[in-house]
Chain A
Amino acid sequence: MNMITLIVALPLLAAFLLPISDRALGSVSRFVGPIVLLMNIILIMTLWQKSEGAPFALALGGFRPPLGISFYVDQLALLFALLVSILALMLWPYKADTNPRVFGLMLLLTGAASGMALSGDLFNIYVFFELLSVASFGLVASLRTGAAFAATTRYLIISGFGTVMALTGVALIYTQTGTLNLAHLATLAPQQLDNATGLTAFALILLGIGVKAELFPVNTWVPEVYATASRRVSALMAGLVSKLAVLVIVRLMVLIFPQPEAMQLMLALGVAGVLIGELSAWRARDFVRMLSFSSIGQLGLVFVAFSIPGEAGILAGLAVALHHLLVKPALFLLAERWGGSLGRLEGAGRRSPLAAGLFVLFALSLVGVPPLPGFWAKLLTIVGLLGQAAPLYWFAAAVVLVATVAEVNYLFRFGLTLFKREEQSAQVHKPHARIDLGTVSVMGVVLLTAMFLIAPLGERMQTIADQTTDRGLYISTVLGPVGGAR
């Protein structure tokens, strides 16, 4: 079981050695990254099978848990670690002229993301989060245009601001409790953190980590960065990086901050994100910016879903997050050749029917047309929201419905543009690269498979949600008789 640390150590090791191997072996080193990611995928699958879904904890360095750092490996952590490697492999920069440094940054990003999924220590999560951030800064700037540098600078400053807020939150928690281990904190939280200090610490950490999760009000970087970064990087940021930030917040919320006030804060910020994101997407005049704002709206929906108390919220949030994790990267890959204003795209769909068909499929799922998976995700959220007594939840349900109307409107408008009769002024767009279209097709197949297997998938996610909400299990796994250390 200790082997699970390899999924963090191997990408970092490969990234450290990449500049050397690039000099020595030349283009052979291009394959190092995908090979490491494949090894990660195999490793996670075998371990998942071996553990049979039971969570286990690791004491890193062999020091007993509250003193040393521990990793907590349950199904949620394994699921996200697996998705990190798979998505990074799908969105790997395969282009021949890619700067080798970009490969290193991708590997560092996956190592950090895997670490974030597994870690059970507050400060360790912060460190991996910073590693993820810095790697994403490099990737975002990698196109090296003036606009990309400016957008990255603004993104970095907002992130840096968030870092300071999160670190202050960590300091507050440490001052109150004197520990950083999440399981240990979970045992102390009811006495020590169920007060104004705890709530402020949560708000600060939410604000800090929320920068990556495109949380209102620290999401002003989103449209600029996604417009100036390469589409693959945008897809990775919107699909993967944001979800890992959400994962951390969910872990903290379940284990340490289960107060209703914390939930309501998240709900309010999520609702603001949904409103602003979807309305701005409705006003957007080009595809990439439409996708960026829609991503803000969807992430807002994720927060709204996770703020529903109890298991129902975790289930709904997980469904929305996983759905967005599949759909948004696919749409960003389609945008690779569909940049430019909407007016210029008239008739683009007629020239590449496969791409247009895939767009329609993903757009329908994003809106939530039954029987596509997006429908079930939205249904779970709205039912969960209406099941709550507080009026804020009812308001949130209304906002989600209004946002869906806006979503239908702009996606439908874009779809119509794609199939409009060609006009003479329409620009000739290059057809999609085969690798992009192939990747999107695979994602489409996954989406359709999920549609047919929705019942078993739902059961699977229910067990994951059960396990995630089980605080007692987390505490006893980490602090109890140190299981899994062997």
Chain B
Amino acid sequence: MRNLTSLLFAAGLAFFLLVIAARFDLGAAPMLVGDAILQEAPAETGAANIVTSVVLGYRGIDTLGEIAILFTASLAAGLVLGRRRPEASRDADSGAVLQISAQLLFPLLLVVGFYIILHGHLTPGGGFQGGVILAAAFFVPLLARPGTSVNHTGLSLVEGLAGAGFILIGLLALFQGKAFLQPLLDKGTLGMLVSAGTLPLLYLAVGLKVGAELAGLLANLADSEVDP
């Protein structure tokens, strides 16, 4: 009975969505907002990457909500999983090849991560993409040597300060009589590394936050209580 209802639901959903899609004027997106943003964004924010202008400027509070969601998920996962007791046994370390290559990869991944974060307003990429690479940089050595304990204090310090930095930059504009999260500073020349006002700073905060958050989540999963 339950299966039948589920099947009917899925079939109905497929039918409805397909019927609706058939009515779409495909490929002629009514870009009311999109077109206006494409025209105004370079002058208004000074960022060459217009997606970045949208992510941090036009829809900046979405991004704040999003890093808050990641923070909440990691907080809740920490609450659910609990902390491993120090005496609990761990997996054995892997062989020398993996350990050494993990150590070699660490600085490379850090550089790539920061490069992608800092060029987020110029090239594809940005805080989220770079943040994920930063998290990987910290997690690869941990995979190679499961015995090392994770520095939870450092991670929570970075995630807290980066998140607070994002909000404080927003509040700075608010207390100057502008709107919350309004870009400040000089917009500079389009396409230069130092341009687009506070957007690169915001992206740096996002990148550090995402990196610390994901590293924390992974470390929590790896470091959860062994016994129930």
In this complex, the interface size class of chain B, counting residues with CB under 8 Å from chain A, is 35 or more
Question: Separation in Å of the B32 CB from the closest CB of chain A?
Answer: 4
A184 contacts across to B, CB distance below 8 A:
32-33
User: Which of B61, B72, B80 is within 8 Å of A141, CB to CB?
Assistant: B80
A172 within 8 A of B: yes
How far is A2 from B156 in the complex, measured between Cα atoms in Å? 31
Question: Separation in Å of the A100 CB from the closest CB of chain B?
Answer: 10
B102-110, B158-166, B186-194: which lies at the interface: B158-166
Provide the A64-98 mask, 1 if CB < 8 A to any CB of B, else 0.
00111100000000000000000000000000000
Question: Separation in Å of the B167 CB from the closest CB of chain A?
Answer: 5
Provide the A10-37 mask, 1 if CB < 8 A to any CB of B, else 0.
0011011111100100000000000000
User: Which of A8, A141, A168 is within 8 Å of B76, CB to CB?
Assistant: A141
- Given known pairs A9-B180, A16-B160, the reply for A131 and B65 (CB within 8 Å) is yes
> What number of A-B contacts does a CB cutoff of 8 Å give?
177
- The residue of chain A having its C-beta at the shortest distance from the C-beta of B16 within the complex is A200
B7 within 8 A of A: no
Please tell me if the beta carbons of B167 and A13 are within 8 angstroms of each other in the complex: yes
In this complex, the interface size class of chain A, counting residues with CB under 8 Å from chain B, is 35 or more
Provide the A236-278 mask, 1 if CB < 8 A to any CB of B, else 0.
0000000000000000000000000000000000000000000
How far is A124 from B69 in the complex, measured between Cα atoms in Å? 13
A160 within 8 A of B: no
Please tell me if the beta carbons of B30 and A196 are within 8 angstroms of each other in the complex: no
- The residue of chain A having its C-beta at the shortest distance from the C-beta of B72 within the complex is A134
B52-60, B86-94, B137-145: which lies at the interface: B52-60
B178 within 8 A of A: yes
How far is A374 from B177 in the complex, measured between Cα atoms in Å? 44
User: Which of A62, A66, A115, A142 is within 8 Å of B33, CB to CB?
Assistant: A66
A5 contacts across to B, CB distance below 8 A:
174, 179-180
Interface residues of B in 129-175 (CB under 8 A from A): 153, 156-157, 159-161, 163-164, 167-168, 170-171, 173-174
User: Which of B23, B24, B71 is within 8 Å of A15, CB to CB?
Assistant: B71
- The residue of chain A having its C-beta at the shortest distance from the C-beta of B152 within the complex is A19
A60 within 8 A of B: yes
How far is A188 from B179 in the complex, measured between Cα atoms in Å? 27
B29 within 8 A of A: yes
User: Which of A60, A104, A123 is within 8 Å of B180, CB to CB?
Assistant: A60
Please tell me if the beta carbons of A19 and B160 are within 8 angstroms of each other in the complex: yes
Please tell me if the beta carbons of A115 and B180 are within 8 angstroms of each other in the complex: no
Please tell me if the beta carbons of B33 and A9 are within 8 angstroms of each other in the complex: no
